[in-house]
Each structure stands twice: as C-alpha cells, then as structure tokens.
Structure 1
C-alpha cells in the first residue's frame, strides 16, 4: 500500500485541515471524531490495492487468477486420479475394490493383471506399491499386489503453474498447428507435465513431441499412448506426428565427505534431495548439469564440513544433456 494511504498519514492530513486554535491533540473531541474515519479509509485503500493486484495475472491468485486465465480460454486443471497396475492370483471383476494404507482402489479391468483407479484424486494415489486388501470377500484370493503407476495422479493446478500456462498462451499463441499448439495439446493430457516440440525433425510435415511427466521424468507408456491418440485426433491433415517419452540420462555422484555432525546416511539423504530438486529444475530448460552447482549441494548438505574426490558420472566437468532428454538422479555414493 502507498505510504500516503496509511492510517497515520490520512489522519494527519485530516487534522491539518483543522484550525490550529482548536484542540487537535490525541484524546480531544476532534481527534476522536476523525480517527475512526481515517481507519476506515485506510482499510478501503488496502482493499483497493488488493483489487488492483488481483486484476493482473502476475499478482493475482485463486478464483481471480481463474477469471484472468479464462480470458485466454484456460481452465485450472483439477486433480486427477492415479491409474495403477494390479496383480492377483485369481481373476478379479471390474468394480472390485481394494485398499492400502487408507487409500481405496477400484478395478477398471478384469483378470489377474487388472488396471486399478485410485478413488482419491491427487498425487496421493502415486504412493509406493505393496499388498492390497480386498473390501469384499473374493473367493480364492490369497495375493493382491498394487503395481506400477500407469497414469500418475495429479493435484489441482497451483497458481504458479496456471500462471506459467497463461504466459505461455499469451506470449506464444497456439494456432494453425504450430509448435505451440502441439505443446498445448500435449499438456491437455492427464499425466503430461511438460512437452517439447521438434518441427520437421524427420523431413517435411513431420513433428516430434517429447513428453515429461509431472515429476519431470519420463512418463509411462500409457501416458505416451494417451497423448499420441489425443494429438492424432487434433492435428492438421497431412502431418506425421511422433510422440515419445523423454530419454532419461542418469547423473551419478561419488564423493568423500568430512562430517561435522549427524550421520553419513543423513548427509546422503540431504544430497539426494537437493540434487534431485536441482536436476528437476533443469528439465527442458537448461541442457547443462553444472559440476560446481552439484558440488555446492554436497558442501551445503546437513552435517557436511568438507569434501574431496567429487565425481559426476566419473568426471569433474559439466554434463551436457541432449535435446529432448532429461537428467535424472542416478546413484549417490557417499563415503
């Protein structure tokens, strides 16, 4: 809020309009009469400032950002449910329900290898697999295992993510089957977190769309198939479109550390967490994995006082990730 709109400045201006031969001191009749009005005006200016900020996409939030995005035909993505694989020793029917650690999964296909859908929307459905318990009795069932994530569940789109899409739509209009439109089509598919489009990659009228999942890693084969089918239904006539998952390039780290406190396991966990976050920030944005940046991750890890012999994929230089690939954390060896 502007300084001239604070309670103190508003009240001061009011009192300056009163002749000096009248008592304007705090506690006087005039002061007490003007103070509530000044407080109300200051509150009104706060709301006006907030309204002004909500009117611009870069400073808006919540339902007001939704309204701004709607002007560009964008709708906030709602939470989606995870699709998982399931293995059973006897065939299960469509609709059978199972639970694991408070989450319920319903069979969408039948058989001993069934597809399961988490009943709770959001990334919570991507929890590690394990033993499932049936909700109802199933004759002969002795083994039920929650398998891999086929289509990851996603949380409701955040304000920051919606704003990124808003800016993308405004600055790079999607039209007539251009690269921006292929990216827009890809991002409309559940389980796709980002996409990179290569025009004329294999000759005239060829388009290649490389996909990332919401976790900035290669998406599952099911997500790639869904994206390919959806883009095929939208693309211009004559285009030959190839949709693939991004190639994952593992980044292995080896380092000897001197500890000032904590344990080796804690230091390793801290390195893995920060290094993983750094690599995710590079996905489809920066092809260089910087040796010095990851060395700093090691040095700033909990309990690490110093380090020697830091190697990145066996060397001490930056790594260059090919276009359309993504760097992912490999093994981290801390001694």
Structure 2
C-alpha cells in the first residue's frame, strides 16, 4: 500500500518545498538536514505497511494471525502427544498388567501408561508433544520399578502426535468456518466436532447414510492415514457415546457412527532415465517423499488417483530426465477412490 513512499520520493517532496533560491544539492546543509528525516519517514511507512497486513487473516502470521481471527472463535491447535500401543510381558513371556501411569523410555523420549486396553496391552502417551515419537518403536525401559516385569515394547502408533498448527492450516480452518458456518448440528458441525479431537487430520460426513437421523463420520489421522480403533473410539465418545441420546455433541435423536477411512493402496512401477550422478535408490527415495506429500493433500480431496499427476511427480523428481511404462497397480489408467477411501503409498519400483 505504501510501496511508493521510498526514501528518494519522500526526500524529493521535502526538497520541493524549499525555495529554489537556496542550495538543495546533495551535500548542502538543507539536503543533509532533510535526508535523515526522510529515512525515518520511509521506515515508518514500511512498518505501517507491515502492520496493516497483520490486521487481516489472509496476510497475517504468528500471534498476529491468532489475534486477527479471535473474533470467530477459531483458535490455533496446540501441539499434541503421540499415543502408541505398549505390550508388557512377565518372566514367563506372558502378557501382564502394569500400574496405570507407569513411566517408560526409549532413548530420550519418555512415555506414560495412560489406559489399559486389554491384558498386558496399554495406551502409551509420549510425555512431550509433537511428531518426534510417531515413528519410535521397540524396547521400552522402565523408569519406575515394576515387579515381575521382564520385557516391554512399543508396537504400533495409535494416534499421531502433531506440532503446533501452522499458519496456513489455521488460516484454512478460519476460512472454512466463515464460509461454511457450523451450527445446529449441520454437516459442518460434525466436521468441527471431529477435528476437535487431537490426532484427527481430516473428516468426511455422510448424512442419512443408514436411514433417517443417521450420520456417518469418516476420519483419518493427522498423517492422513486410516485412523486407529482407539482414535475412532475417542471421536465416537465425544460426538455420540450413546446413540441418539444426545449425551455427546450431537443433538438428541441423531445416531452417529464414527469410522475410519479405508486405505486404497497405490503401487507404482515405471522405467526411468537417470541424470548423471544419480542412483536409482536415491531417486526412488526422493519420489517416495514427493508421493507422501501429494498423498496428504489428496486425502478426502481427490476422487481418483491421476496417472498424469503421478507422472508429473516422477518427472519433477531430481535426477529423472524421462520416464516410460508408468503403471498404477499394474494398469496404465487412473485409479478410482471410493467416498470413504484415501490413497496409501504401497510399493514404488523403478527400473532403468
């Protein structure tokens, strides 16, 4: 808005107000007196321009974005803790129960037994928020002494941990809330309720899916992968723990079923021409990273997997000069996705 208010333009305007009968050349007394003031004014216009941008959600960031959208009730999601499945064995290698709140560690990450799922099986919660614990599995070392415990291990990620919500994700939720208000148990209200549970990364709602007053809520986790049974139950308990009774967020009479999305496995085969200095394994790993980024954006957004998009991702991978014989699940066409399906990357086989 104030990009034209530069030092040179401001100084020129100031000098124009000085009579031509006086020396206004660079180095003169008048010039040297006005130049510092022009610099300060130019700096002031720059800061004013920045401050104006911080007022509006589309151009704001950080704490200023939080303040700009506070009126709407949409707040930034805090970092959440990873939840994993822990198994505990006695000296006879049989599953055994442990005290709830017992603490364990793998390397520098510590966990607490939050809930008993079944005999010797517990929901373990990382004591630090964020995604650091999402891919950590293996032997757990007890911090607290537990009688007769011989072995403990983490085996499965139940609910991914997440970092502090990014500006772009928060901005998008704000836009959705303004453009599609959630109210009175409408479709968008169910989406809002499901996304309030830590670890839920996407939602699709199917009204009247099994007759009048029925609602199906299909979710994915924070990694845009099919949700675990634990996460599904957490969402179910929050929205409608007793069907139709209105004891959760859903209104009385609404029978809500929460389910996980179904993973549609995508296997990719292609022949590639490599640039000099690149290895097939390195290119394959780079392609997998690009596919993962695409997969997260495509979940609940795309109705099919486009061969053209996969080909573009392949051709845009560093080290790939060209490709041919691209197959998705053994075929040369697009792959359709069902209403409750999300893509999951399977095998990626490249040849030269």
TM-score band by shorter chain is over 0.9
Partners in 2 of 1:139 and 1:202 — Cα distance? Answer: 50
**Cα 1:202/1:94, change in 2 over 3 Å:** closer
Picking from 224, 228, 233, the partner of 1:216 is 224
Number of residue equivalences: 335
Q: Which of 295, 318, 321 matches 2:337?
A: 321
Candidates 236, 247, 258, aligned match of 2:262: 247
Match of 1:159 in 2: 167
Q: Deviation of residue 139 (structure 1)?
A: 4.2
Matches within 5 A, 1:169-180: 169-180=177-188
In structure 2, what is the equivalent of residue 270 of structure 1?
286
Match of 2:106 among 82, 86, 100: 100
| Residue in 1 that maps onto 2:313 | 297
CA distance in 1, matches of 2:81, 2:289: 26
Aligned to 1:115, the other structure's residue is in SS state strand
Structure 1 CA distance for aligned equivalents of residues 173 and 313 of structure 2: 30
1:272-291 matches, cutoff 5 A: 272-291=288-307
Compute the TM-score of the two structures, normalised by the length of structure 2: 0.90
Contact (CA 8 Å) 1:57, 1:68: kept in 2 or not? yes
In structure 2, which of residues 114, 129, 132 is the aligned counterpart of residue 124 of structure 1?
132
**1:54 alignment counterpart:** 54
In structure 2, relative to structure 1, the CA distance for the partners of 1:202 and 1:141 (3 Å cut) is closer
Following superposition of structure 1 onto structure 2, how do residues 20-99 of structure 1 map, counting pairs within 5 Å?
Answer: 20-90=20-90, 91-99=97-105
**1:309: Cα distance to partner?**
2.0
Residues 161 and 199 in structure 2, CA contact (< 8 A), matched pair in contact too:
yes
Partner of 1:226 in structure 2?
Answer: 234
**Does the 8 Å contact 1:93/1:109 carry over to 2?**
no
- SS of residue matched to 1:234: coil
Secondary structure of 1:236's counterpart equals: coil
Aligned to 2:120: 112
SS at match of 1:71: helix
Contact 1:280/1:328 (<8 A) preserved: no
C-alpha offsets along residues 194-245 of structure 1, whole Å, 9 cap, x if unaligned?
A: 1111112222211111111111111111111111111110111111111111
SS at match of 1:40: helix
What RMSD, in angstroms, separates the aligned Cα atoms of the two structures?
A: 1.7
Deviations 1:64-117 (A, max 9, x none): 211222201111111111111111223432232221121111222466322211
Q: Distance in 1 between matches of 2:304 and 2:11?
A: 57
Find 1:133's aligned residue among 121, 126, 141: 141
Gaps of 5+ in 2: 91-96, 241-247
CA distance change for structure 1 residues 211 and 299 in 2, over 3 Å: closer, same or farther?
same
CA distance in 1, matches of 2:184, 2:145: 54
Unmatched 5+ stretches in structure 1 = none
In the alignment, is the contact (CA less than 8 A) between 1:198 and 1:208 conserved in 2?
yes
Match of 1:193, SS state, is strand
CA distance in 2, matches of 1:162, 1:252: 33
Change (3 A) 1:258 1:180: same
Aligned equivalents of 1:241 and 1:13: distance in 2?
68
SS in structure 1 at match of 2:189? helix
Aligned counterparts of 1:248 and 1:39: Cα–Cα separation in 2: 59
Tell me if 1:259 matches 2:263.
no
Deviates more, 1:83-92 or 1:14-23: 83-92
